């Protein structure tokens, strides 16, 4: 059996104060370097380029030593980009700059351009691969355990060999496995939670009958060895010299005839039956996977934390301004990549959070986008088109050249029916009434174009009640304005009927006096099950230029399903080029997020109920997990546009 280690270095680690960085270098980084030199075993080291820069500021000798070990072949250096940002949640252009800038820094300090990348936080989507390939990467490292649960015809034996992945454009990239179970088991041994014999028995139990195969025993944080990051109260105390335990382990593995290799040597191990197979790591249920257990998903960097939605929104606005002015300075893109780092979105300390906000707001002020009104997104024309408006006691019916909507005034002006008469005589999406589905679990009303706030342990708050309503007509646009007063604050809502562009908009401004622990989901879209029956799909971008298409087959899923009372959802899509399509072979809806307003993250759900299909999308601006911190209030301002694709 061949084995290898990959140690992840991150001086931007969320819960480590900047003043502790020198200690981390001395307690964590140097001991590993010395063990490699002493025992002459090859080990993989991965670090963000930001970390390499910061190490060089504090201890240039370590950089020189690392460079020398790489030259000797005792260290397989693995790249990841400038900052540890989450690929499926940021635009393709940012992913590209992050890798490009990272490679420049690796070359400057280490005189290398890595060919192998550890996917940041193991947050994977098919779309991000093109960015790696275009920046010279030939191999990526991903978590086996979460890829395996996707269940796309994986065989257990695939774990012991490198595989291949196709990008959306059918380009190839090699895949090397890491494992959450293995790295957690290693940490338990290092921290003294399990004995050496127990850990060795675990490794030995994985022995196979193949002539040649490999295992990755560790691919995670270096900062957890002989140091504690203070993220959790349950962290074990340092009782033993943990580097001594590591050295004892290495010697024991050598005695038992385990052979140490560099991570990329895995690619040389051939097996016709189980190696070099093309595997698909995602599906509709899991469009964006990460490492570790289910509580660890991309929502933790999107809409949780101290105020992820707010800081992501600011990053998006700066990005849009950069695009608008065709920003060419790499230093500007470098700053934005840093500000989009995952570490500011989880267990960031109060001191570092305040410093981060200063940097974020400084870049925002220098690239302040002009305040945008949603009417700027509407095409203005003097050409008069006839729009019929029937405003009755209980409903509002608006009919234009091609599209038509029916709104329920008693239920917050939800969209009862949206028609595009060019596509179907039946409504495209809207209200599916109680009793429509035979399954009692789905025996409720399913609305469209509404908001649901779910505070933990409390009753839901919705806009499904009668609001104050105003109807305004401006040339080819009709605006339905609603105001909802709730105990915690106010909700402002606008339904925009854009006759010229054959689309409708949904605008929300949420102002809560007190922040909540829980979720805030809005812009629910329920497809008409009468006309959407089979060949269903959704399509979006998750960090890449190319759309990722997910064909919905027999497997039910719900991205918004809570994992526990602490984790409010399990999956999401990034929609990083601002578009989400959902539909079937003959017709689809195009939902466009206007990110000059708030960032939003998409969620989808599907269930086959006898011969009927329940298919729905919504967007979230707030979720809850172990990283959530309480803020004084909550505000959000969102806008989406919906139209059919012919």
Instruction: Collapse the DSSP code of 419 into the 3-class scheme (helix H, G, I; strand E, B; otherwise coil) and give the result.
Output: strand
Report the share of the chain in percent with pLDDT over 70: 97
Least confident of 74-78, 150-154, 453-457, 632-636: 150-154
pLDDT at 160 over 90: yes
Locate 367 and state its tokens. Answer: 């690239």
The span from the CA of 621 to the CA of 29, in Å, is 38
pLDDT at 626 over 90: yes
Rounded to 5 degrees, what are φ and ψ at 334?
Answer: -65, -45
Least confident of 142-156, 450-464, 551-565: 142-156
The span from the CA of 54 to the CA of 11, in Å, is 7
The span from the CA of 600 to the CA of 609, in Å, is 29
Q: Work out the mean pLDDT of the chain and round it to a whole number.
A: 94
DSSP state letter for 235: P
Confidence label for 382 from pLDDT (cuts 50, 70 and 90) = low
The span from the CA of 457 to the CA of 466, in Å, is 25
Question: What confidence score (pLDDT) does residue 377 get?
Answer: 63
Question: What confidence score (pLDDT) does residue 288 get?
Answer: 97
pLDDT at 30 over 70: yes
Q: Residue range 5-22: average pLDDT?
A: 96
Q: Domain extents for the chain?
A: 2-301, 389-645
Confidence label for 174 from pLDDT (cuts 50, 70 and 90) = very high
The span from the CA of 407 to the CA of 400, in Å, is 15
Confidence label for 374 from pLDDT (cuts 50, 70 and 90) = low
| Residue reference for tokens 């409010």 | 568
pLDDT at 195 over 60: yes
Fold of 389-645: Beta-galactosidase; Chain A, domain 5 (2.70.98)
DSSP state letter for 126: G
pLDDT, tens digit, 9 for 90 and up, residues 205-264: 999 999 899 999 999 999 999 998 876 666 778 888 999 999 999 999 999 999 999 999
Are 98 and 83 a contacting pair, CB within 8 Å? yes
Are 90 and 113 a contacting pair, CB within 8 Å? no
Question: What confidence score (pLDDT) does residue 383 get?
Answer: 64
Predicted model pTM: 0.95
Question: What confidence score (pLDDT) does residue 229 get?
Answer: 81
The span from the CA of 336 to the CA of 97, in Å, is 10
Question: What confidence score (pLDDT) does residue 235 get?
Answer: 72
Residue 286 vs residues 427, 541, 566: alpha-carbon distances, Å: 29, 14, 20
Least confident of 186-195, 370-379, 460-469, 543-552: 370-379
Fold of 2-301: 7-stranded beta/alpha barrel (3.20.110)
Q: Three-state SS string across 363-401, please? A: HHHHCCCCCCCHHHHCCCCCCCCCCEEEECCCEEEEECC
Question: What confidence score (pLDDT) does residue 376 get?
Answer: 66
The span from the CA of 293 to the CA of 563, in Å, is 10
Sign of CA dihedral 12, 14, 18, 23: negative
HSE-up (13 A, CA, CB side) for residue 273: 8
Contacts of 352 (CB under 8 A, 6+ apart): 14, 17, 18, 344
Strands 259-260 and 2-9: parallel
pLDDT at 142 over 90: yes
């Amino acid at each position: 059996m061949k084995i290898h280690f990959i140690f992840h270095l991150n001086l931007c680690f969320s819960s480590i104060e900047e003043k502790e960085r020198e200690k981390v270098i001395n307690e964590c980084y140097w001991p590993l370097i010395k063990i490699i030199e002493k025992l002459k075993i090859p080990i993989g080291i991965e670090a963000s380029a930001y970390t390499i820069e910061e190490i060089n500021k504090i201890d240039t000798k370590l950089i020189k030593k690392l460079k020398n070990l790489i030259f000797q072949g005792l260290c397989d250096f693995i790249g990841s980009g400038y900052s540890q940002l989450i690929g499926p949640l940021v635009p393709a252009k940012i992913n590209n700059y992050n890798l490009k800038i990272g490679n420049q820094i690796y070359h400057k300090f280490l005189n290398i351009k890595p060919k192998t990348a550890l996917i940041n936080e193991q947050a994977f989507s098919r779309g991000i691969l093109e960015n790696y390939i275009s920046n010279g990467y030939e191999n990526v490292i991903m978590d086996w355990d979460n890829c395996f649960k996707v269940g796309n015809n994986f065989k257990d034996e695939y774990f012991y060999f490198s595989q291949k992945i196709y990008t959306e454009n059918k380009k190839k990239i090699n895949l090397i496995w890491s494992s959450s179970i293995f790295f957690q088991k290693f940490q338990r041994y290092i921290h003294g939670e399990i004995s050496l014999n127990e850990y060795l028995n675990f490794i030995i139990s994985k022995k196979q009958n193949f002539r040649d195969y490999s295992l990755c025993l560790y691919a995670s944080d270096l900062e957890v060895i002989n140091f504690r990051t203070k993220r959790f109260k349950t962290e074990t105390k340092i009782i033993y010299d943990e580097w001594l335990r590591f050295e004892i382990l290495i010697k024991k593995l050598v005695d038992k005839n385990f052979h140490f290799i560099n991570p990329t040597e895995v690619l040389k191990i051939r097996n016709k039956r189980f190696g070099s197979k093309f595997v698909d790591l995602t599906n509709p249920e899991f469009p964006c996977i990460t490492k570790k257990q289910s509580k660890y998903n991309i929502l933790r960097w999107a809409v949780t934390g101290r105020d992820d939605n707010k800081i992501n929104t600011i990053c998006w606005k700066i990005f849009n301004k950069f695009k608008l002015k065709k920003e060419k300075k790499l230093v500007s893109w470098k700053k934005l990549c840093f500000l989009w780092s995952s570490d500011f979105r989880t267990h960031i300390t109060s001191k570092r959070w305040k410093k981060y906000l200063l940097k974020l707001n400084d870049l925002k002020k220098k690239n302040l986008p002009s305040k945008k009104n949603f009417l700027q997104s509407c095409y203005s024309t003097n050409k008069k088109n006839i729009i019929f408006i029937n405003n009755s006691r209980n409903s509002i019916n608006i009919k234009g050249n091609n599209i038509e909507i029916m709104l329920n005034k008693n239920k917050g002006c939800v969209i009862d029916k949206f028609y595009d008469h060019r596509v179907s005589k039946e409504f495209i999406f809207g209200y599916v009434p109680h009793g429509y589905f035979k399954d009692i679990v789905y025996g409720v009303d399913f609305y469209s174009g509404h908001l649901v706030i779910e505070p933990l342990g409390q009753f839901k708050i919705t806009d499904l009640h009668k609001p104050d309503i105003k109807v305004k007509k401006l040339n080819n646009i009709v605006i339905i304005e609603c105001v909802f007063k709730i105990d915690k604050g106010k909700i402002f809502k606008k339904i925009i009927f854009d006759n010229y562009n054959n689309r409708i908009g949904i605008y929300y401004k949420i102002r809560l006096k007190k922040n909540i622990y829980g979720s805030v989901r809005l812009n629910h879209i329920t497809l008409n099950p009468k006309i959407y029956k089979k060949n269903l799909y959704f399509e979006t971008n998750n960090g890449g230029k190319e759309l990722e298409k997910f064909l919905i087959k027999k497997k039910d899923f719900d991205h918004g399903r809570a994992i526990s009372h602490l984790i409010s959802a399990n999956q999401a899509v990034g929609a990083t080029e601002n578009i989400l399509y959902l539909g079937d072979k003959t017709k689809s809806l195009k939902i466009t997020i206007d990110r000059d307003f708030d960032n939003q993250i998409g969620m989808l759900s599907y269930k086959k109920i006898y011969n009927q299909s329940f298919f729905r999308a919504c967007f979230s601006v707030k979720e809850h997990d172990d990283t959530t911190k309480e803020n004084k209030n909550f505000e959000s301002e969102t806008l989406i546009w919906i139209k059919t694709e012919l």
